[in-house]
A and B are shown apart, each in its own frame.
Chain A
Amino acid sequence: MKKQKKECFGGFNPFDLLSEEIIFMILDLLHRNPLDKKSFSLVCKSFYATESKHRRTLKPLRQEHLPAILCRYPNITHLDLTLCSRVTDASLSIISNACTSTLRSVDFSRSRLFSTSGLLGLALNCKNLVEIDLSNGTELKDSAMAAVAEAKNLEKLWLARCKSITDLGVGCVAVGCRKLRFVCLKWCLGVGDLGVGLIAVKCKQILYLDLSYLPITNKCLSSVLKLQHLEDLVMEGCFGIDDDSLAVLKHGCKSLKSLDVSTCQNITDSGLSSLISGAEGLQQLTLAHGSPVTSSLADCLKKLSLLQSVKLDGCLITYDGLKTIGNWCLSLRELSLSKCLGVTDEGLSSVVTKHKDLRKLDITCCRKITDVSVAHITNSCNFLSSLRMESCTLVSRKAFGLIGQQCHLLEELDLTDNEIDDEGLKSISRCSKLSNLKLGICLNITDEGLIHIGRGCSKLIELDLYRCAEITDLGILAIAQGCPGLEMINIAYCKDITDRSLLSLSKCSCLKTFESRGCSRITSLGLTAIAVGCKELSKLDIKKCHNIDDAGMLPLAHFSQNLRQINLSHSSVTDVGLLSLASISCLQNITILHLKGLTPSGLAAALLACAGLRKVKLQAAFRWLLPHRLFEHLEARGCMFQWRDKVLQVELDPKCWKLQLEDPMP
């Protein structure tokens, strides 16, 4: 066979014939691990050339690198500058010259130092620019908005927290960027009715509008509601809008699909009624932290025949309110009653028995509900894909068996701080689609329960076992073997876990987040296994793992090239270990409190060597032990410091700790 092949192809490599098109297809499939495409470019010169043409998204680490990498990658459409805290006008000039026709989207939301002239160059040169994110631009003034207005093809503009812009600036944008479809003005406290009104009148294509926390009144609302294509309106915290001002509205918004009026304490059922009149297409409604949900409020929502999702987080709900919701003709798909006061078995049951099509139900901290509600939920809502019931502590162990019996389509289940035991987990293991399971502070579960989960839930991606003190290596072994796609696991304060668990978890090659706070029996050996096996590791928390020392840092430095965030507090890592982490170029976030082996000079060396650092949490004492200029230099480089003075806290017995939490509220 081989001889035949050589005869046909004359002995040369058939792969030479592979077209660029096919290589592009293969490159498209290498999206999980960012290092794969980088390795690809190192293979040979022709692969380098192909990869250079293929890349569309770029996230530079420092603005100094822009000239070189924009030269290497000529087809960039999306430029993410969130890792470049300093971006000057000179850099913007380089960008506008390098990516003239290809650039479509730029993210400046974490960058400062650029000004109007830089933005003007960008807007004028990059004719295909459709999206600019200028969120957090607290220093940007109206002149910058006039510059943005030159980007005539702009469709998406994010201006959250741009406190210094006023109606004038927004007006410029409204007149210049007629094709705008997505606009966010959240927290732009200088913008009022005039600016918003101008946007509504001039930019007829608007689809999404976020006006949260703006000092607007009903004056601009009438223009806003006249927008023919508006689908998504967010007005969180708009205190200037109340029932009276809403009463004068004459026009409804037929195209509206999603409305968010969270934290609008001045809107009650009459105001809401005026707001949604004419909005027959409304599908999603968020009334979180608003006025009490009474039967009259629930009543005014009755005519919305397409309503699918309602979020009432943090609201006071009356029994009549819940009963009225239960009496709607349609069935909701998503209902959130998270942290709502007044949710009782009676009320909740009357809702779930009618809304049989519920896919997502959130009853976090509805502390009054008992087994009765769980029985009704499981009986009625068999299509549930997400159930969150953190801290429903009156629900007894037996009730959890019903969840596994009836709700087989569950993908997300949050049972944090509940009484569930191994029998309950055995039942839940029948939910074969389960991908996200939170069992934090579930003190009754043991390895036996986890063994069931390992057998039944092969699609598990996230598992939270925070403070499940009875768990040992056996349970983790079962999970590691049964859930090969695991991406996140939290075993904080599971004191009996040893390196054996880490060895078994190292086979989960997709693991991205590993949290093992307070697991004092694990050592550098276990950590090494994780580093070698889990190449996608991005977030690591080994706080209070006293037996992990420098020997665990060296393998991380060598193998974990995707590590972005690490917490080493209270471990036995010293200057040497910390310094070795400098070879991880994407390391951005480190927490290094109470490291006995850390000296001022060692810390200084490590901070200087870790070129990509953006956030460091450390002992306040170091502030005075090191030269001020060092921190100035690091801050100029883009690194932010958080100083902590916390005294070491002695670890409490888990049950005692939990009882403290349950103290009656004042």
Chain B
Amino acid sequence: MSMAAVETKKITLRTADNHEFEVEEAIAMEFSTIKTFFDENPDASEDTIPLPNVTSKCLSAIIEYCKSHLAFRARETSSSIDEQVRTYDEEFVKARDNESLKELILAANYLNIKALLDMLNQAVADRIKNKSVEYVRRFFGLENDYTPEEEAAIRAENEWAFEGVDPDDD
């Protein structure tokens, strides 16, 4: 935890399901959306900020994440700290099912927390890479709206018309 004995100001956030969260200013400033809001309205710090797009479950997870990462950053950078950050991120993602992962992405995007968003996107990519089309459908909860003929045509084009390599792979 931070050694500085600064008076910690608290910001109140209200989630979509009407739960109120009191968070330290430092953590609230990790949410770029909120930071921008306060930069433009410095007097609004006493008000409760409504977050109609974020559930309480999401917000509490996000607050935990930001708290831990702030703590990591306060310590000196070293390879063992990097290792701990990596482990923390892995654990954060591991237990979550696909639904909550997606909700977190939406919330992280809405609150504009770049590091968290990148990490979550990577987690999604890791879960769907090397998997079948059907698995990806189930992951995103999407229905196959192709006719069999359409699907066969696209499959043929995918296989025989071009290679999917990107420049960095060459």
Contacts and interface: CB of A to CB of B under 8 A. Distances in A.
Interface of A: 1, 4-5, 7-8, 13-15, 17-19, 21-22, 25-26, 29-45, 47-48, 57-62, 65, 68-69, 72, 78, 80, 83, 509, 535, 561, 585-586, 611
B146 to A, nearest CB: 7
B82 to A, nearest CB: 14
Contacts of A585: 159-160
Contacts of A80: 165
B100 to A, nearest CB: 9
- Name, among A1, A8, A38, A39, the residue most crowded by chain B CB atoms within 10 Å (CB to CB): A39
Contacts of A611: 160
Given A17-B106, A43-B133, A59 B165 contact: yes
Nearest to A512: B169
A29 B127 CA distance: 11
Contacts of A535: 130
Contacts of B142: 13, 15, 43-44, 47
A48 B105 CA distance: 21
24 contacts: A5-B99, A13-B141, A13-B142, A14-B99, A14-B102, A15-B140, A18-B102, A25-B117, A26-B124, A29-B125, A39-B132, A42-B133, A42-B151, A43-B133, A45-B145, A45-B146, A47-B142, A59-B162, A59-B164, A65-B157, A65-B160, A69-B161, A585-B160, A586-B163
A43 B137 contact: yes
A369 B130 CA distance: 48
B153 to A, nearest CB: 10
Contacts of B130: 33, 35-36, 509, 535
B157 to A, nearest CB: 7
Interface string B29-45: 00000000000000000
A14 B103 contact: yes
B21 to A, nearest CB: 15
Contact of A60 (B125, B161, B169): B161
Contacts, number: 132
- Name, among A32, A60, A535, the residue most crowded by chain B CB atoms within 10 Å (CB to CB): A32
B39 to A, nearest CB: 23
B136 A39 contact: yes
B84 interface: no
Contact of B160 (A4, A19, A47, A61): A61
Contacts of A61: 160-163
B148 interface: no
Given A42-B155, A44-B145, A72-B157, 4 more contacts: A8-B55, A14-B99, A48-B154, A59-B165
A60 B162 CA distance: 4
A8 B16 contact: yes
B167 A78 contact: yes
A32 B129 contact: yes
A42 B102 contact: no
B122 interface: yes
A619 to B, nearest CB: 29
B83 interface: no
- Name, among B102, B137, B164, B169, the residue most crowded by chain A CB atoms within 10 Å (CB to CB): B164
Contacts of B133: 39, 42-43
Contacts of A22: 105, 109, 117, 121
Nearest to B161: A65
Given A8-B55, A18-B105, A44 B146 contact: yes
B125 A30 contact: yes
B17 interface: yes
A21 B38 CA distance: 25
Given A18-B102, A39-B132, A65-B161, A31 B154 contact: no
Nearest to A59: B163
Given A44-B143, A61-B160, A68-B161, A33 B103 contact: no
A407 B158 CA distance: 47
Contacts of B140: 15, 43, 47
Contacts of B48: none
